[in-house]
Amino acid sequence: MTTSIGSDCLLEVQDLHVEFPTRDGVVKAVDGVDFSIKHNQTVGVVGESGSGKTVTALAILQVVSQPGKISGGRVLLRQESGNAVDIASLNPRGKAIRAIRGKDISMIFQEPMTSFSMMHTIGFQIVEAIRLHQNIGNHEARSIAIDMLRRVGIARPEERVDAYAFELSGGMRQRAMIAMALVTHPRLLIADEPTTALDVTLQAQIMELIRELQRELGMSVLLITHDLGVIAENCDEVIVMYLGEVMERAGVQHLFADPLHPYTRALLRSIPRLGHGKEWELEPIEGMVPSPYNRPTGCPFHPRCPAFIPGKCDTLRPELVEVGDGRAVRCHLYSL
Amino acid sequence: MTAESILQLKNLRKYFPIRQGMLGRVRGHVRAVDDVNLSVHAGETLGLVGESGSGKTTLGRSIVRAHAPTDGQILYRRADDTSVDLAKLSRKELRPYRRELRMIFQDPFSSLNPRMTVMDIVGEPLRIHGLASGRVLEERVAHTLERVGLRPEVMRRYPHAFSGGQRQRIGIARAIVLDSRLVVADEAVSALDVSVRAQILKLLQSLKRQMNLTYLFISHDLSVVEYIADRVAVMYVGKVVELAGTEALYHRPMHPYTEALMSAVPNPDPTQRSKRVVLSGEIPDPANPPSGCHFHPRCPYAQARCKTDPPELREVAPGRLAACHFAEQLSLRGAGER
């Protein structure tokens, strides 16, 4: 394993493990995840419930909730100085990680109410975020906050800056959260299902806003979603996760044109396509996502896999192997 | 009531009062469903799409009389061809119809009582209506569970022991255990994992064929509705703005809102990153909707007339209804041309 970060990478996750000890045993929420994010790139993480996509994101910020903890691996971040720091080795409550959170890496969530406190105005909270990382006065920070609110498309930002989160509509709240996350000009934005709770017309507005700000501010985005449409429209690279493991990693064009892993193929066959009507035959995936307490042995997808090889897939865990074109697959079909 | 309809809504309204102050004085009304005319044909799947606040859920709940409508008629045709206005019936008079009009809910986690076994949950409608008890009840429940793809042995278990997809199967079993005829499915697959969603859609389709059911399939997901529905009604701020056969609607929408909705759906094909019509603004407050056509502040084609003159839902082509003054003149983009 390399100890340094790739030259064009902003973030490199290496063999990341996150565990949750519970009364019923240890849940391996993230079990050996590898991927990297280049400068200005949008990387999508797609997966169903229990895939570990959100826990991976939380681990990058060292905010995995107790009693969960990073139990192995590295999260290398290239800092502005050019040096790499291993976030996974930092104390989750220490000064070093606090300097990174909100400054180098910001995160937005599905539900904006979880980002904002009900006790303070959104302006107060944005000003706080600015002053945490920049040594400037209240007045100046407030005008930066107003500017940012305007930039994310909030009308009358001079008034709205004094509003409480609950006074805003769903779409406006999402915009305010994006303003707060981006006001410090982070180099990486982690967006966890940022539009899942929104209607499609609003979703289109918010995704366009994120793309626009990404171009303007020059940042990388880690986009976590279960929606393959959102992935196809916004990402450069895609990571497909299942039960805490990366099943496939590919450029977005390759992934959709020629999915390699049986799970990716099955996922793409199981979603209805707009404009294809009834001629598009849905092929459901058999069974259900297994409980994390009851992980299948070998390949985690084997009980549902149409290409299951008895005696191999159920006993031997496949490695993630490089298959050219910058692609990687974790499946015995490709490691023969 | 036309011969082919199982259900016909006439000028249906459901207003929720907005109360204020200690005395609870009514300060206004949320017009969740505002003058809806719609018929559901026997044996079809009618899709009902719209964004949050469009009134689609309230409409579905009014039909199964979870809400008492404010005004209008809900004409329901029984198997013996007599029809009855459900809107006028009292709770007691409604009881026989509750066996025939059933509902499936979105959230398979909160719609099942955690303290009841699967047997109790699925069997409850049978017991309430005094249709079965003891051994017979158990057999009916076992049979229904098999129909929805669950093993009958699971009937002694509690809901927490099941995954989202299995819970939704239990919810479906509860809806079809009686002699159901019309099933209102409200976002029935929206909370499910992608890989499980297709299973439930297929299940709903096969049950419909086997049991001669009619579905009102309410969803915000246009791709799912295109897959399952025969006809589709589009709602916006309490009103139906377009109604057409599924193929016709997705091929060539005739209301600008329908076009915008389709355009906003992300396409799972990275070679087709669309030049889309991004609507500005948000769905208006149904307590205080815009004048004229409710859609005019967001409509890219709006003209002066749209601000003042509310458009009627009218026939704009054979078998197609749209509530837009310019439906015939506009040439809108369908789902295939994104």
Contact A274 B198 (CB under 8 A): no
Mean pLDDT over A273-301 rounds to: 86
Residue B149 has pLDDT above 60, yes or no: yes
Mean pLDDT over A322-330 rounds to: 94
Confidence of residue B52 (pLDDT cuts 50, 70, 90): confident
Task: Please state which CATH number belongs to domain A9-104+186-334.
Answer: 3.40.50.300
Alpha-carbon distance of A234 to A216, in angstroms, equals: 16
- Residue A75 is encoded by which pair of tokens? 């999260």
Closest by Cα among A227, A221, A197, A224 to A209: A221
Under a CB-based contact definition with an 8 Å cutoff, are residues A223 and A27 in contact?
no
Best residue of A167, A173, A200 to probe chain B, by most B CBs closer than 10 Å: A200
The mean predicted confidence, pLDDT, of chain A is 92
Q: Kindly state the greatest CA–CA separation across chain A.
A: 68
- For residue A255, the model assigns a pLDDT of 97
The residue written with tokens 């598009």 in the block is: A280
Range in A55-64, B42-51, B243-252, B266-275 with the lowest mean pLDDT: B266-275
Under a CB-based contact definition with an 8 Å cutoff, are residues B57 and B286 in contact?
no
Give the rounded percent of residues in chain B with a pLDDT score beyond 90: 75
Identify the H or E element spanning B234: strand B231-236
Report angle CA B116, B119, B122 to the nearest 5 degrees. Answer: 90
Number of domains within chain B: 1
Is B164 inside any structural domain?
A: no
Hey, what's the torsion of the CAs at B325, B330, B335, B338, to 10 degrees? Answer: -140
Is B173 inside any structural domain?
A: no
DSSP string over B282-314 = -PPPTTSPPSSSTTGGG-TT--HHHHH-PPP-E
Residue A2 has pLDDT above 50, yes or no: no
Residue A258 has pLDDT above 70, yes or no: yes
Under a CB-based contact definition with an 8 Å cutoff, are residues B33 and B55 in contact?
yes
Is B312 inside any structural domain?
A: yes
Residue A3 has pLDDT above 60, yes or no: no
Contacts 24+ apart (CB under 8 A), A121-124: A121/A161, A121/A162, A121/A163, A121/A164, A122/A149, A122/A160, A122/A161, A122/A163, A122/A164, A122/A165, A122/A168, A122/A176, A122/A180, A123/A161, A123/A162, A123/A163
In B, minimum Cα distance to A204 occurs at B264
Q: Who contacts A168 (Cβ-Cβ below 8 Å, separation ≥6)?
A: A122, A160, A176
Residue A1 has pLDDT above 50, yes or no: no
Say what the ipTM of the complex is: 0.85
B309: domain CATH number?
3.40.50.300
In this predicted model, what pLDDT tens digit does every residue of A65-98 receive, in sequence order?
989 999 999 999 998 888 899 999 999 999 999 9
Is B263 inside any structural domain?
A: yes
In this predicted model, what pLDDT tens digit does every residue of A100-155 receive, in sequence order?
999 999 999 888 777 888 899 999 999 999 999 989 999 999 999 999 999 898 88
Q: How many CB pairs under 8 A join A and B?
A: 149
Under a CB-based contact definition with an 8 Å cutoff, are residues A116 and A51 in contact?
no
Residue A194 has pLDDT above 80, yes or no: yes
Is B191 inside any structural domain?
A: yes
Q: Name beta bridge partners: B102.
A: B183
- Write down the pTM of the prediction: 0.90
Residue A215 has pLDDT above 90, yes or no: yes
How do the domains of chain A map onto residue ranges? 9-104+186-334, 109-185
- For residue B135, the model assigns a pLDDT of 92
Mean pLDDT over A317-335 rounds to: 94
Contact B335 A232 (CB under 8 A): no
In this predicted model, what pLDDT tens digit does every residue of B136-147 receive, in sequence order?
999 999 999 999
- Residue B238 is encoded by which pair of tokens? 């309490």
Alpha-carbon distance of B123 to B132, in angstroms, equals: 9
Q: Which of B195, B196, B220 sits opposite A199 (nearest CB)?
A: B220
Confidence of residue B274 (pLDDT cuts 50, 70, 90): low
Under a CB-based contact definition with an 8 Å cutoff, are residues A15 and A44 in contact?
no
Print the domain residue range for B280: 5-100+179-337
Distance from CA of B205 to the nearest CA of A (A): 12
Mean pLDDT over A19-23 rounds to: 91
In this predicted model, what pLDDT tens digit does every residue of B8-37 receive, in sequence order?
999 999 999 988 877 788 888 899 999 999
